[in-house]
Structure 1
Amino acid sequence: MQDLIRLAIVGPPDSAAIAYEIALEKRDCLIPMVLPYEDASEVPDILKKNSNDFDMWLFSGIIPYQRALIADSNKPLFYVPHAGSSLYRALLEILYIKKLTCDSVSFDTFSEKEIVETFKDTTLPLPKIYANQYKGIVTASEVTEWHYDLWKSGKTNIAVTCFLATYNKLAELGVPVVRIWPTRCNIRTTLQLAIKSFETQRVKRSQLAVQRIVIDDYDDIIRSSSSYEAKRLELKLYEILLAYIEKLKGSISMNGGGKFTLYSTRGTLTEITENFTVMPIIEEMTRQVDVNISGGIGLGLTVYDAEENSFSALGLGKQQGKGVWMVVNDDHTVIGPLSSKVHLKYSVRTNDHALRNLADQLNISVTTINKLLATIDKLDRDDIVADDLAMYLKITVRSARRMLSNLVEKGFARVVGEELVGKGRPRRLYKINIRELLQPVQE
């Protein structure tokens, strides 16, 4: 039987209580507990103090969720979106419960488009709307001041807010105010998505991870020194790997010839490698063993799949040089090199007909296309120079220039300027037209 999910529900006492009520409907898979607050600024402290006590966190809205993000939690975080149904509820309270005149209204959190569409759907006359869809972290006092200034100046006659503290303060100041609540329907939908997502991640974390580790040039070491020296290197490396695998709660096998196999679960390996971005023992191995050590990490649902992927990862690393660590995922995406500034994530699959056609047109491999797209995404800018492309793709600068010229010729890139570095020749800046490049994939 699968362990129950310990769920923390965070929000103002009233809305958190509603979420708790809905969460009890899923008591067959959830153990919910409410952690209430009076102001969303309390969220980081709540999360920090209780992080180890829960598997998953549900926030009553995007405000506390954004606060939680800055706390850098490694647990799954979800929030109940204030969708159109929440606005309908607010309009119902304004018109039929409080019987207020809805001439000019200030809204926080929602965009003007969402508000206008809600009024159109209800066929109600559209009032004058002031919308404050802030970006990033905002305090309740700032939102309160925004609503109050509009009301005090006569620009609005009603305020609609998602903040409990703002609602209480505006009511105290005499401002006609309505609070947005998460609806039961939205809470129920969010919980279903959260549970499904968590279960998927739990299965993924329990996947097998196989690491193939080899001493590069092992035979050359034997020839240049002796088999005894090679064995000493193996024993030193074994001690390092033994401490490493102990942290992973896994097992290690010495295969001879400077080769090792490590077995563990994906979950622990993900944490130690910081989501497959670094290999924490590379520096120690370099310091103590002083030879190049390569590694291939394979992930899979079965031992066979994980082992096959580890061999593939090791082979991909060998193509890039010595001392390279790569990962091949269960979906055949490649991650790596680990502990490198040119770390990428890309696919090696070649069964996409449109991608193969594009590769044929450019006279490069599908894998190279995927690495090119991953490089552009990693650089996160509009232009690229041949030197950067060569560094990420592990090709010569000359080959990178040839590839970029080919992209220009085929209409997938254009020269947009030059970059002067030092006293050398200016480097051409290329803009790769992602939309045109991806168009064949979408057909």
Structure 2
Amino acid sequence: MRKITIAVVGPADSVQLISEVAKEYSEKIDIMALTYKVAEEVPTILAAHNGLPDGWLFSGKVPYSHAIAANIIKQPMLSIPHAGSSLYRVLLEIANQEKLDVNRISFDMVSEKDIAETLSDLEVPLDPIRTFDCEGIVSAADMTEYHYQLWKSGKTKLAVTSFYSTYYALKDRGIPVFRIRPLRSNVRTALDMAYQMVEAVKFKSSQISIQQIVIDDYAGVIRDASSTYEVKRLEAKLYPLLIQYTEMVQGSIDIHGPGHYTIYSTRGAVEEVTQGFTVVPIQEQLTQLLSVPVSGGIGFGPTAHAAEKNAYKALGFARHTGKGHWMVVLDEGTVLGPLSSDTYLKYSLRPDASLSQCLAKQLQISVTTMNRLLASLDKLDTETIGADELATPLSITPRSARRLLGILVEHGLAEVSHEEALYKGRPRKIYRLLVDKIVQKHGSL
């Protein structure tokens, strides 16, 4: 069994509890205990330990919200929920120690729904429910003031908080306060989930990556060259760039044939170097140093055969979109690209995407074109468009784009906005895509 390291972030007492429970998982999990006094320290903790653990476990919603806002961590992150059994425990503590009416309690970082459901299960009515819950960051000082003002006005007699520093600040003011902390059962569930998440990410990262990179229209390059030496000089300029890129992705490179190269690597390395499959890191050098375009297809899969198959699919899509483009096909059939392009799209190849398949059948177009159209809607700055502009993101000819726009008009999903006069020839039609209707029709099938 593979052993992983999980960083646990939270107040000292919560981290201690999680670390104690984690001893039950000592064969597969090592704990990195990271504590804070105030949650505002979380970004500093993350920055100091970024890249060291395989995953991160936060003691609750408060430190987790700070981690999300910091946007530093790339590893899997998980927080321990404070609803359900944790809420039951604190209410039981209150009942045993304070004998207090639950209608005189203020809560924070617990939703009104969770409180209502918990008390409904206990057959205890609560009206009104006083809770301060939000998805973003809120300071402990603001939360302390929230509870204090309710107590001071006589609306509450007791506070229940998820904030470590709020708990002690209210105690110092003499206000009865209880703190929601994780239960051992919740910790066990979270540790199991954290392990599974890390394993899933590691599996993805270790997937085989195969890239097929070609000089576009190599036969034409040879035909137009003044001599074979000119072609060799071109290849001599390209190869060092590909060596540089291969080193970046920690892979190996083979010359597949004249003007054709294959690079072997792993998904994790390629994803990092291409910034999440969005850019070609050597695109600028390729453009500056070479007089001909170079296209690339990047494929992933659990086996070399699957990765190679996807790489050739990606190369086919790249060539279909034009010269000098790079595309990606993921193992689950998602297409990304062109990389380093304003027309970058993400869509699925899966023919079993039932909604897209039904709409594509009605419009008499391919599922792939349908998925490209849906993906393109988010990229359009305007709802009015001509056939030439629509053809580019869909990787089809202007003639095919005009046919598609005509079909959309027939089905009430587009309309002719106006005609645009040209210097020569007939005026071209400009269409208004009825985006809301297209999306609505797609979702209602």
Instruction: Report the TM-score when normalising by structure 1.
Output: 0.90
Identify if the C-alpha distance between structure 1 residues 378 and 73 changes in structure 2 by more than 3 Å, giving closer, same or farther: farther
Q: Partners of 1:42 and 1:338 in 2: how far apart? A: 37
Shift of 1:416: 12
Whether contact under 8 Å (2:355, 2:443) holds in the other structure is no
361-370 vs 180-189, which deviates more? 180-189
| Partner amino acid, structure 2, of 1:16 | V
- The separation in 2 between residues aligned to 1:162 and 1:66, in whole angstroms, is 13
Counterpart CA distance in 1 for 2:440 and 2:65 is 31
2:385 alignment partner in structure 1: 386
Taking a change above 3 Å as real, the CA distance of residues 409 and 88 of structure 1, as seen in their structure-2 partners, is farther
Alignment of 1:16-415 (within 5 A): 16-69=15-68, 70-225=70-225, 226-352=227-353, 355-377=356-378, 384-386=383-385, 389-395=390-396, 400=401, 403=404, 406-407=407-408, 409-410=410-411, 413=413
1:216–1:322 contact (8 Å) kept in structure 2: yes
**Given that residues 297 and 327 in structure 1 are in contact (C-alpha distance below 8 angstroms), is that contact kept between their aligned partners in structure 2?**
yes
**CA separation in 2, counterparts of 1:5 and 1:267?**
17
Q: Answer whether contact 2:416 2:429 (CA < 8 A) is retained.
A: no
1:312 counterpart SS class = helix
Shift of 1:431: 2.5
Q: Does 1:437 align with 2:442?
A: yes
One-letter identity of the residue aligned with 1:257: P
Residues 416/32 of structure 1: CA separation in 2 closer, same or farther (3 Å cut): farther
Which range is displaced more, 184-193 or 360-369?
Answer: 184-193
Q: Which stretches in structure 2 are left out of the alignment for 5+ residues?
A: 421-427
Q: 1:228 to 1:385 in 2, by over 3 A?
A: same
Pair 1:426–1:296, CA change in 2 (3 A): closer
**CA displacement, residues 147-206 of structure 1 (integer Å, 9 cap, x when unaligned):** 111211222222111101111101111112111111222221122122112111111111
* 1:354 Cα deviation from its structure 2 partner: 5.9
| Distance (Å, rounded) in 1 between the aligned partners of 2:366 and 2:86 | 50
Q: Which residue of 1 aligns with 2:423?
A: none
Distance (Å, rounded) in 1 between the aligned partners of 2:262 and 2:108: 56
* Structure 2 letter corresponding to 1:36: T
Moved more, 96-105 or 313-322: 96-105
| Matched letter for residue 97 of structure 1 | Q
Cα deviations across residues 109-133 of structure 1 (Å, max 9, x unaligned)? 1222221121111101314322211
Whole-Å Cα distance in 1 between the matches of residues 343 and 188 of structure 2? 42
For residues 202-245 of structure 1, give each alpha carbon's deviation from its aligned partner in whole angstroms, at most 9, with x where no partner exists.
Answer: 11111110110011122222222222111111111110111111
Output the CA distance in 1 between the equivalents of 2:308 and 2:369. Answer: 24
Alignment RMSD = 2.5
Pick closer, same or farther for the CA change 1:151–1:376 going to 2, 3 Å: farther
- Which residue does 1:8 correspond to in 2? 7
Change (3 A) 1:157 1:316: same
What number of residue pairs does the alignment pair up?
Answer: 432
3-state secondary structure, aligned to 1:52: coil
Decide whether the 8 Å contact of 2:15 with 2:35 is kept in 1: yes
Query: In 2, Cα distance between the equivalents of 1:105 and 1:389?
Result: 58
CA displacement 1:242-300 (0-9 Å, x = unmatched): 11111222110112321110001111111101111111111111111232110000111
Structure 2: distance between partners of 1:426 and 1:223: 41
Identical-residue share of aligned pairs (%): 48
Q: Is this contact kept in 2: 1:104–1:128, CA < 8 A?
A: no
Q: Is the 8 A contact 1:102 1:157 kept in 2?
A: no
Give the letter aligned to residue 29 of structure 1.
K
Unaligned runs of 5+ in 1: none
Whole-Å separation in 1 of the counterparts to 2:143 and 2:357: 53
- Indicate if the aligned counterparts of 1:245 and 1:262 stay in contact, CA closer than 8 A: yes
For residues 321-378 of structure 1, what are the alpha-carbon distances to aligned partners after superposition, in whole Å with 9 as ceiling and x for unaligned? 0011001111122111111222222111224566444322111101112222323456
Structure 1: distance between partners of 2:378 and 2:94: 47
What SS is found at the alignment partner of 2:281? Answer: coil
Give, in whole Å, the separation in 2 of the partners of 1:391 and 1:194.
Answer: 42
Question: Deviations 1:55-79 (Å, cap 9, x if unpaired)?
Answer: 1110011211121121421222111
Q: How far apart, in 2, do the equivalents of 1:116 and 1:353 lie?
A: 38
**TM-superposition CA deviations, 1:392-430 (whole Å, max 9, x none):** 32346775565455345435x466999x9xxx9986352
Q: C-alpha separation between the residues in 2 aligned to 1:180 and 1:333?
A: 42
Between the aligned partners of 1:405 and 1:210, the Cα distance in structure 2 is 40
Cα distance in 2 between the residues matched to 1:6 and 1:248: 24
Q: Aligned pair 1:428/2:429, yes or no?
A: no
Distance in 2 between residues matched to 1:66 and 1:391, nearest whole Å: 40
Q: Partner of 2:434: helix, strand, or coil?
A: strand
